[in-house]
């Protein structure tokens, strides 16, 4: 049996009562760094337990006072697993500023009605909470996307197993439904496809999913168990011109398997980014700058065992040197990821990636499973200026009482989400390039210990970077009396699965799932089935400590004018500045995404700049003029 430990170092570690993580001051008890069996993909079509029990009545609304006014419950669900790993895009900001929210919803105790819960704002107000799923068939784990024209799509999986689409065009009240075409559906002799993630830019829709894994009743595809596959539509979901695409570099030459929701996707303009996070593999970024035609691969975290197969065995000599300072819990433990990642593309086309830090281990070579360390914390961050295998930790667990110790007694006190103590990241970027990151944080101290389960609550935190990821503001706990809709219950909130609009507007809008008990009923602890709330929160940059350095002014401030408007060939932009003032003129689409940098120069009192619009698709655009720390925006209609 190929299994060896570095006994001397392990003995030293075992005698220690605590250890200190690199990049973290919090001392961990040795009881907190114990291995726990991992769990791979859950049943994609699970049924509830026979004769389920429930502590709280299902579908009974609790009294809500709305004393804060910042948070609003947009729906509820008894099915509480919004993702196995990476959180999908469950909230979108539309072309006219509307906010859309979607989630996996059931309102029964047998999950027979499982489908997409959906709500949207009209004139800034959310609609009534839904009482039925969107789809005509049972689905799971929807991503919501909206195109530049306002077409909405809910992309999930159905029981074929296939990737299912519910679609409606702007102004319509009717959803149409279909499955994305695929040559590997069971009817075509293949294993089927599951667990999609989706993104949209312009009228382009991009999807990443995996083939049906062996453990769930599927089969290996093209040499990979749970093979990542790429799909594309260039006409807002009317047709799909790329299906079942194996991305070069994300294939059997690099990986053995993929796990449910162990990937994330984003797009901006013609740039598409796919982040692959599997605990026993490299963290891999696939990037396309030509709308999914060609791809480049970058390894963001190099896993030391290439294409490792569980139970194959390895020794400490196969791994990097033992790193006690980094909190390595065992000589066979490997620093990896927790399979929950996020990826975002900024306005300049640069990719930013996030994932939870995690130690993994395979020391029982007979059980067909591996282990992970629930007491691991730390969110990893990477962007394209770093180069391969060069991520950094940007946040770790909050030291609630300031005693430099992580006051969680043992792994038994951590609810089973199979994630880092700082996990489930999800990110967005605004028009000025500020990056906003939401994630979950396990709350230490007895103040946040649920006495019924003896487990610590999780809260949702948000941090931000105003300098392209170089520095990050202190994380802001959104579970506080100024935000939540029931301030008296702050100490009893379980807040998980945050999702942020990828195109952040004047406010940072996110949704998350909330109940009053740590853990899940569908997975992990298998808690009693209870009502969970899907809450929307709207934050200002100032709440996060982001100080805006640019003041938004009316176009009249610069005498900013565009003629002709509408334009179909060329537009003349005129504006006035202080003589020799530096300015930047750029073109954005209606969703605030940069289309082109038009000009950066030192201006005159009166300025005129010609803008070629002949190659632009018809529609509304924005001309953004920045000078003297002031920004003005004018609309431009292209015919």
Q: What is the pLDDT at residue 167?
A: 98
Query: In sequence order, what are the residues at sequence separation of 6 or more whose Cβ sits closer than 8 angstroms to the Cβ of residue 85?
Result: 259, 260, 261, 262, 277, 338, 339, 340, 341, 418, 419
Of 56 and 354, the one with more pLDDT: 354
Q: How many CB atoms lie within 10 A of CB 561?
A: 16
Q: Domain for residue 55, yes or no?
A: no
- Same domain as 211, residue 105: yes
**Distance, first Cα to last Cα, the chain:** 70
Q: Domain for residue 25, yes or no?
A: no
Tokens (6 digits) for 321: 């040197």
- Same domain as 515, residue 555: no
CA angle 123, 479, 132 (to 5 degrees): 50
Q: Domain for residue 522, yes or no?
A: yes
Q: What is the pLDDT at residue 8?
A: 30
The length of the chain is 639
CB-based burial label for 326 (10 Å; 0-12, 13-18, 19+): middle
- Same domain as 329, residue 356: yes
Domain boundary among 544, 564, 594: 544
Distance between CA 118 and CA 166 in Å, rounded? 11
Tokens (6 digits) for 497: 């699965």
- Same domain as 625, residue 495: no
Tokens (6 digits) for 182: 């695929």
Q: What is the pLDDT of residues 190-241, one digit of tens each?
A: 999 999 999 999 999 999 999 999 988 899 999 999 999 999 999 999 999 9
- Same domain as 588, residue 464: no
Task: State CA 26 to chain mean position distance.
Answer: 26
Q: What is the pLDDT of residues 417-445, one digit of tens each?
A: 999 999 999 999 998 899 999 999 999 99
Q: Domain for residue 616, yes or no?
A: yes
The continuous run of DSSP H or E covering 11 comes out as: helix 7-15
pLDDT beyond 50 at 101: yes
- Same domain as 458, residue 600: no
Of the CA atoms within 13 Å of residue 174, those in its CB half-sphere come to 1
Q: What is the pLDDT at residue 629?
A: 81
pLDDT beyond 60 at 50: no
Q: What is the mean pLDDT of residues 478-497?
A: 92
Q: Domain for residue 539, yes or no?
A: yes
Q: Domain for residue 163, yes or no?
A: yes
Distance between CA 448 and CA 417 in Å, rounded? 17
What one-character DSSP code corresponds to residue 15? H
Q: What is the pLDDT of residues 133-175, one digit of tens each?
A: 999 999 999 999 999 999 999 999 999 899 999 999 999 999 9
- Same domain as 572, residue 619: yes
Q: What is the domain extent for residue 234?
A: 71-122+139-544
- By C-alpha distance, which of 635, 619, 633, 637 is closest to 567? 637
Mean pLDDT for the chain overall: 90
Q: What is the CATH number of the domain that holds 318?
A: 2.120.10
- Same domain as 591, residue 454: no
Domain boundary among 496, 521, 544: 544
pLDDT beyond 70 at 21: no
DSSP SS3 for 180: coil
- Same domain as 421, residue 387: yes
- Same domain as 559, residue 467: no
Count of structural domains, the chain: 2
Q: What is the pLDDT of residues 537-558, one digit of tens each?
A: 999 998 998 876 667 788 999 9
- Same domain as 332, residue 228: yes
Q: Is the peptide bond before 566 cis (omega within 30 degrees of 0)?
A: yes
- By C-alpha distance, which of 71, 18, 57, 1 is closest to 514? 71
- Determine how β-strand 228-233 pairs with β-strand 242-245: antiparallel
Q: What is the mean pLDDT of residues 406-413?
A: 95
Q: What is the pLDDT of residues 126-136, one digit of tens each?
A: 999 999 999 99
Q: Give 3-state DSSP helix, strand, coil % of the chain, rounded to 5.
A: 5, 40, 50
Of 602 and 420, the one with more pLDDT: 420
- By the 8 A CB rule, do 166 and 177 touch? yes
- By the 8 A CB rule, do 572 and 608 touch? yes
Q: What is the pLDDT of residues 26-48, one digit of tens each?
A: 888 888 999 999 986 667 777 66
* Percent share of the chain, pLDDT over 90: 76
- Same domain as 146, residue 252: yes
Distance between CA 180 and CA 392 in Å, rounded? 38
Domain boundary among 544, 579, 602: 544
Q: Where are the beta strands (DSSP E) in 38-88?
A: 71-77
* Percent share of the chain, pLDDT over 70: 91
Q: Domain for residue 595, yes or no?
A: yes
Q: What is the CATH number of the domain that holds 630?
A: 2.60.40.3880
Q: Domain for residue 266, yes or no?
A: yes
């Amino acid at each position: 049996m190929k299994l060896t430990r570095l006994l001397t170092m392990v003995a030293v570690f075992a005698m220690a009562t605590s250890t200190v993580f690199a990049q973290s001051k919090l001392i961990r008890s040795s009881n907190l760094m114990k291995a726990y069996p991992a769990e791979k993909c859950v049943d994609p079509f699970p049924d509830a337990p026979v004769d389920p029990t429930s502590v709280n009545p299902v579908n009974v609304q609790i009294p809500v006072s709305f004393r804060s006014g910042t948070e609003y419950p947009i729906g509820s669900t008894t099915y509480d697993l919004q993702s196995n790993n990476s959180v999908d895009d469950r909230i979108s900001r539309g072309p006219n500023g509307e906010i859309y929210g979607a989630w996996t919803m059931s309102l029964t105790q047998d999950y027979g009605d499982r489908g997409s819960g959906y709500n949207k704002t009209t004139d800034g107000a959310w609609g009534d909470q839904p009482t039925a799923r969107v789809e005509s068939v049972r689905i799971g784990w929807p991503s919501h996307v909206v195109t530049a024209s306002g077409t909405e799509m809910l992309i999930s999986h159905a029981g074929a197993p296939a990737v299912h689409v519910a679609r409606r065009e702007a102004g319509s009240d009717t959803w149409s439904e279909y499955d994305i075409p695929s040559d590997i559906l069971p009817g075509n002799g293949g294993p089927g496809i599951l667990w999609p993630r989706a993104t949209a830019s312009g009228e382009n829709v991009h999807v990443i999913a995996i083939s049906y894994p062996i453990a769930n009743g599927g089969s290996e595809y093209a040499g990979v168990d749970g093979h990542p596959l790429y799909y594309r539509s260039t006409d807002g979901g009317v047709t799909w011109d790329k299906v079942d695409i194996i991305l070069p570099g994300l294939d059997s030459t690099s990986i053995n398997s993929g796990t449910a929701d162990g990937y994330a996707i984003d797009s901006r303009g013609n740039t598409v980014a796919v982040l692959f996070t599997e605990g026993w593999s490299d963290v891999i970024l696939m990037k396309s700058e030509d709308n999914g035609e060609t791809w480049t691969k970058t390894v963001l975290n190099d896993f030391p065992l290439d294409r490792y197969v569980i139970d194959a065995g390895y020794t400490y000599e196969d791994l990097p040197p033992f790193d006690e300072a980094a909190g390595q819990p065992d000589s066979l433990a490997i620093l990896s990821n927790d399979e929950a990642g996020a990826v975002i593309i900024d306005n300049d086309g640069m990719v930013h990636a996030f994932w939870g830090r995690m130690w993994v281990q395979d020391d029982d070579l007979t059980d067909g499973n591996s282990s992970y360390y629930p007491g691991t914390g730390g969110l990893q961050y990477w962007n394209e200026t770093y180069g391969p295998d060069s991520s950094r930790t940007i946040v770790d667990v909050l030291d609630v009482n300031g005693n430099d110790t992580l006051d969680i007694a043992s792994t038994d006190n951590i609810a089973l989400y199979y994630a880092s103590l700082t996990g489930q990241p999800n990110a967005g970027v605004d028009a000025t390039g500020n990056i906003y990151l939401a994630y979950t944080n396990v709350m230490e101290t007895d103040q946040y210990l649920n006495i019924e389960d003896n487990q610590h609550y999780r809260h949702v935190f948000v941090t931000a970077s105003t300098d392209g990821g170089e520095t990050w503001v202190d994380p802001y706990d959104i579970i506080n009396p100024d935000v939540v809709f029931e301030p008296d219950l702050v100490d009893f909130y379980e807040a998980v699965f945050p999702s942020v609009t990828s195109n952040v507007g004047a406010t940072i809008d996110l949704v998350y799932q909330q109940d009053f008990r740590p853990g899940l009923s569908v997975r992990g602890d298998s808690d009693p089935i209870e009502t969970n709330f899907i809450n929307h929160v709207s934050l200002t940059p100032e709440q996060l400590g982001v100080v805006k350095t640019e003041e938004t002014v009316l176009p009249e401030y610069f005498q900013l004018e565009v003629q002709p408007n509408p334009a179909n060939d060329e537009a003349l932009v005129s504006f006035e500045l202080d003589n020799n003032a530096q300015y930047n003129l750029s073109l954005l689409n209606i969703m605030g995404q940069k289309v082109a940098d038009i000009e950066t120069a030192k201006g005159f009192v009166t300025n005129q700049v010609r803008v070629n619009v002949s190659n632009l698709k018809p529609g509304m655009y924005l001309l953004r003029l920045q000078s003297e720390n002031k920004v003005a925006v004018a609309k431009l209609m292209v015919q």
